[in-house]
Structure 1
Amino acid sequence: MTRFAEMPIDQLRDELAAQQETYAGFKARGLALNMARGKPTSDQLDLSMPMLGLVTSAADCFSEDGTDCRNYGVLDGLPEAKRLMACLLDDEPANVIVFGNSSLTAMYDALARCLDFGCLGSAPWCACDAVKWICPVPGYDRHFAITQAFGIEMIPVEMNEDGPDMDEVERLAASDARVKGIWCVPKYSNPGGVTYSDEVVRRLASMECAAEDFRIFWDNAYAVHHLHDEASEQDQLLDIARACAEAGNPHRYLKFASTSKVTIPGAGVAAMAASPENIAEAKSHLTVQMIGHDKLNQLRHVKFLRDGDGIAAHMALHAAILRPKFALVARKLEEGLGEAGVARWTSPRGGYFVSFDGPEHTAARIVALAREAGVVMTGAGATWPYGRDPHDSNIRIAPTLPPAEELEEAMDVFVCCVKIAALEQLIAQAE
């Protein structure tokens, strides 16, 4: 295939007509395919069904310290649950609070505490004339929704292959005390699949901040979500807690994780790790907010996953399901667009997404064409704060939910839509 940009206009028109004919065929099939969110597929959910039968009698309801988990109490999580979640957080159990099923809820509440009460004696953030937040892009739309809901000004910073552009992050953090934090998905990031380099982690930990209460919200959502079993093909991440301690900023980070894409998303376990001082402060507020979370669910997870080795073995089963889907996406993109020269995309070694960049000013058109043909994608612009991608180029591909045959159809439609949008643009520029 000749690169589209090198085609004479007559050839561009012929190619567009051919793609439009293919597209009409897709529309005629009445497809109803969905790649909008990074949900586990049913086969993945089936892996954790045995967990639901592990706490069925009164005798099953007691923790290792004798706590009757059917009753009130244990604000910060069972001891065995804290040990388990520490495996996902790369931390010590004593530094962990175990929550309910949603790490997003834990992050929302943590941000609300900063706004209402401040951090370790600092003034409440709501007393500031403005609060600003650094948002690596492309990034996670639900993170951006949280800061937007609180009226926090979001500042996009471009992601590089080893993490956010640290020159810009450092400049922003040092120049304005109203810049209070940064969103980070540091391993197999959403959507780019980027894992932060050791240098990036150390620079985040040691950078000068105008705000002494600057906080890194470290969402290690994909800590164990490798696509390959061999260690040599798995990304490794430097622990932010260790880096902050070594830099003399031990309170700068809040780490979050959950089992949402490990076991059952609607019935998982979430947790936060932080410095002992941050943990104590959070618990002082949680004491008013609640008496305790679902300890029976914590027990189920401990009995099912057991420890770090058990988590790794379970996640290898997930990887066996997901690996062919990511390979299919890579193959379809390369076969359909590799020689056209109109797009680029990531090849992650873990996580749940592929980040795709088409020609500038075409993402909204591509997504609209796909929807009209029966394929629902994540909305164009969703990977930027306020839903506004200034380049209108990035699209998040979520290959996990559809069965393989549906994913193949959806990718065929997507590739066709990319070609149409790219050809339309080139023709308009040439005329």
Structure 2
Amino acid sequence: MSLLDLDHDQRKELAERVRQDYEELKSKDLQLNLTRGKPSSEQLDISQRLLELPGTEDFKDADGTDVRNYGNLKGIRDIREIWSELLGVRYDELIAGDASSLNMMFDLVMYAHTFGTQDSERPWNQEEKVRWICPVPGYDRHFTITEKLGYEMLSVPWLDEGPDMDAVREAVKDPQVKGMWLVPTFANPSGHTVSQDVARQLAEMETAAPDFRIVWDNAYAVHTLTEEFPEVIDIVTLAREAGNPNRFWHMTSTSKITFAGSGVAFLNTSTENIDWYASYAGARGIGPNKINQLAHARFFGDADGVRQVMRKHASLLAPKFNRVLEILEAELGEYDVARWTTPSGGYFISLDVIDGTAARVVELAKGAGIALTEAGSSFPLHKDPNDRNIRLAPTLPPVAELEEAVRGVATCVLLAAVEKLGA
């Protein structure tokens, strides 16, 4: 029965029970954390053999180059060939960098900000104003980059097959709209995936700014929770065929496939964009960590080796996600006070509570020793206009701790709801 359908006495009875449950929760002195999407120790153990690679006698790549030395700004062929096959993209449109695709994203935006792109009339920092499209709920670290640069962020809602394209098409009529963030596969935090149709619309749409760019952050391209891997859309080819070859900066990395802080990042984009990027990246540094790239190439062997590793991750993560969903349904389902996504991949579950209560839920959880990501974090400037969205990250805690934390969150959701209704 919906909480809204309860009569006065029933609400009062429920409120008393929930308050008692919350006091019992606080008495446990918990120290639980559901804030960030980090791999668990068991997941990191999958790649332990990397610490032994490439080995003391193995230091030449497929081209015979000594990876211990300087050079090769685009990364070694060994790992680029594996990733181009894995993503189904052209080898000459893929470069391999260091550990973090987020660093590469920051560099790309900063180069455009400071120098302009090859399609720009002037550097973006010389524009009167720069606006950036932000599908919401979205990835907080994306928004941090554009916030630091003082860009005006335009929120558009996520729909089932991608961002609201009517809102996007309206926004790009403005020549000051220079870019857009997008996580196309198992999006952070909702788990939604951009459809082929929406991807084609993004590639084909007319934009007032000739230097409009979409950061296609495919961080979870192979992060399935099932036996099935998602289709990876070759967005750069779509854009080239649509006559907009430079529109997309397609990013991905091994950060949550092997070691979170010591992986390999990739940029898939037009060769013209790669040349533009390299002209500035070559001044920033002489080349990436090619020893680490070779170690990863040896570890995976080929694209199917990557998929085998991801199946191991799925075997550890799927039970955690299933337990979170089961507990949310058992604890909250009958009261109709929350909605949540049921992703088939990625690292997060998006939880929507009664409008005006998300911040209170996070506050109550903190009081009970359960750390949640700040309410509003999935929106530009941390401002959720409806104060409803909370991101849950089930990956790091052991299952027993995860279960206790989610039950505690459910208690806080109910308590915030009965408070909101004056019960």
- TM-score between the two structures when normalised by the length of structure 1: 0.96
1:308 to 2:303 alignment: yes
2:192 counterpart (191, 194, 209): 194
Cα pair 1:187 1:220 within 8 Å, conserved: yes
Which of residues 164, 176, 179 in structure 1 aligns to 2:177? 179
Write the letter of the residue equivalent to 1:410.
A
Q: 1 CA distance for matches of 2:224 and 2:30? A: 31
Find 1:63's aligned residue among 61, 64, 71.
61
Q: Which secondary structure does the structure 2 equivalent of 1:156 belong to?
A: strand
**Structure 1, residues 336-362: CA drift from partner, whole Å, max 9, x if none?**
111101111100010000001000000
1:236 Cα deviation (Å)? Answer: 2.4
Q: Equivalents in 2 of 1:221, 1:61: separation in Å?
A: 28
Deviation at 1:106, TM superposition (A): 0.2
Aligned to 1:226: 224
In the alignment, the residues of structure 1 paired with residue 38 and residue 353 of structure 2 have an alpha-carbon distance, to the nearest angstrom, of 24
Tell me the equivalent position of 1:110. Answer: 108
Secondary structure of 2:16's counterpart equals helix
Q: Give 5+ residue unaligned stretches, structure 2.
A: none
Q: What CA distance in whole angstroms lies between the structure 2 residues aligned with 1:309 and 1:88?
A: 8
Deviations along 1:232-283, one digit per CA (max 9) or x if unpaired, are xx43243211221221111111100010000001110101011011111111
Measured in 2, the distance between the counterparts of 1:419 and 1:324 equals 25
Query: In the alignment, which residue of structure 2 is the partner of 1:252?
Result: 247
Report runs of 4+ in structure 1 exceeding 4 Å deviation: none
Query: Equivalent residue of 2:335, what SS?
Result: coil
Q: Is the 8 A contact 2:221 2:230 kept in 1?
A: no
CA displacement 1:187-217 (0-9 Å, x = unmatched): 0000000000111101100111000110010
Asked if 2 retains the 8 angstrom alpha-carbon contact of 1:163 and 1:194, the reply is yes
Residue 136 of structure 1 is matched in structure 2 by 135
Amino acid at match of 1:287: G
Q: 1:47 matched to which residue of 2?
A: 46
Separation in structure 1 between the aligned mates of residue 168 and residue 391 of structure 2, nearest angstrom = 23
Paired residue type of 2:314: A
- Which residue of structure 2 aligns with residue 374 of structure 1? 369
Letter in 1 for 2:50: M
Amino acid at match of 1:71: N
The percent of aligned pairs where both chains have the same amino acid is: 46
Measured after TM superposition, the shift of residue 131 of structure 1 is 0.5
Q: Which residue of 1 aligns with 2:156?
A: 157
The 3-state SS of whatever aligns with 1:194 is: coil
Superposition CA RMSD, Å? 1.1
Q: What residue in structure 2 maps to residue 100 of structure 1? A: 98
Q: 1:237 to 1:303 in 2, by over 3 A?
A: closer
Report if aligned partners of 1:217, 1:256 keep a CA contact under 8 Å in 2. Answer: yes
Between 47-56 and 183-192, the greater mean CA deviation after superposition: 47-56
Aligned to 1:38: 37
Q: Is the 8 A contact 2:87 2:232 kept in 1?
A: no
Q: Match for residue 383 of structure 2?
A: 388
Deviation at 1:388, TM superposition (A): 0.2
- Over residues 256-311 of structure 1, what are the superposed CA-to-partner deviations in whole Å (9 max), with x where a residue is unaligned? 00100000011101010110111111111111111011111001100001221011
CA distance in 2, matches of 1:87, 1:103: 19
Pick one of 317, 334, 354 that aligns with 1:339: 334
Unpaired runs of at least 5, structure 1: none
CA contact (8 A) 2:171 2:177 kept: yes
Q: TM-score, normalised by structure 2?
A: 0.98
Is the Cα–Cα contact under 8 Å of residues 119 and 210 in structure 2 kept in the other structure?
no
Q: 2:78 aligns with which of 73, 80, 92?
A: 80
Structure 1 residue 416 and structure 2 residue 414: aligned? no
Partner of 1:279: 274
Partner Cα distance (1:98, 1:105) in 2: 13
Q: Distance in 1 between matches of 2:233 and 2:222?
A: 14
